[in-house]
Amino acid sequence: MNIRKDAVMGQFYPSSAKEITDMFTHYNKILNENMKDQTILKQKPRAIIVPHAGYIYSAFTANIAYRLFENTHAKRVVVIGPSHRVYLKGTSISDFDKYETPFGDLNIDHVLVNELKEKFGLKFIPDAHHEHSTEVQMPFVKSYDANASVVELVYGDENPQNIAKIIDYLLQDSDTVVVISTDLSHYYDINKAKEIDNICLDAVSNLNIQELHEGCEACGKIGIEAMLIVAKKDGLEPILLDYRTSADASGDKSKVVGYMSAAFIK
């Protein structure tokens, strides 16, 4: 059995399932008590955008999107994130047997993996999949939709149009949900970070692909652009769910990282 072992467990997120569950429960209590428009939490997204930093910084923002994701009861989840560790030309698709999480292993949908390999010419480059941008999403998936299978795509030097074609194909199946992983600007002071991040937020809110290229800084900008291409084509409505920075957790406003979550509704 070829299992994709946790690479950043205990670093980016706790190794204890109970600790993660307690964290999510705490965040959901905050949402239930403070979110003014509770109808948002009843939406069923076709796709979500989520951050991928350490949970103490970004899990609250991601969790809002996964609350909506839970409503979908998706049979399969395709997680798409940028490569940080290795240079990668194009996109690699995970072809392990299972994906380890603190909540137990997730099944990898080999039927879909083979389908995508054949249709889009994707390859499996194992080194590309020791990647935190996708791994940190898997405990959320297992926690909120325990029976779902997953497919993991990690991209490097890639044309957003190529990923858009894959997303468009995936969303033809109503039982599939797409997760786009990205953080926003890195290591500016809080005011500059918000100025830059607002460009990204506005681009997503208005499906404005051109605006992404007018100052938005995001390590997963290729994935965001691909998602906006598909959303415009397929008539998906974006809902911006949350934005904050690492300063909300650390208190340090001198060098912050930005995080957002969003959902795309049919």
DSSP string, 145-211: -TT-EEEEEEESB--HHHHHHHHHHHTTSTTEEEEEE----EEE-HHHHHHHHHHHHHHHHTT-HHH
CATH of residue 177: 3.40.830.10
Is residue 148 situated within a structural domain? yes
Q: How many CB atoms lie within 10 A of CB 142?
A: 23
Domain containing 153 equals 46-265
Is residue 114 situated within a structural domain? yes
Is residue 31 situated within a structural domain? no
Record the tokens describing residue 109, joined without a space: 């949908």
Is residue 36 situated within a structural domain? no
How far is Cα 234 from Cα 175, in angstroms, rounded to an integer?
Answer: 16
Is residue 8 situated within a structural domain? no
How far is Cα 118 from Cα 31, in angstroms, rounded to an integer?
Answer: 42
Q: Which residues of 62-91 are buried (b: 16+ CB within 10 A; e: fewer)?
A: bbbbbbbbbebebebbbbbbbbeeeebebb
Is residue 65 situated within a structural domain? yes
pLDDT at 1: 78
Contact 216, 177 (CB under 8 A): no
- pTM comes to 0.97
- Per-residue pLDDT 10s for the chain (266 aa) are 799 999 999 999 999 999 999 999 999 999 999 998 999 999 999 999 999 999 999 999 999 999 999 999 999 999 999 999 999 999 999 999 999 999 999 999 999 999 999 999 999 999 999 999 999 999 999 999 999 999 999 999 999 999 999 999 999 999 999 999 999 999 999 999 999 999 999 999 999 999 999 999 999 999 999 999 999 999 999 999 999 999 999 999 999 999 999 999 99
Is residue 99 situated within a structural domain? yes
Is residue 1 situated within a structural domain? no
Which run of H or of E encompasses 244? Answer: strand 237-245
How far is Cα 97 from Cα 250, in angstroms, rounded to an integer?
Answer: 38
Paired strand residues for 242: 261
Domains contained in the chain, number: 1
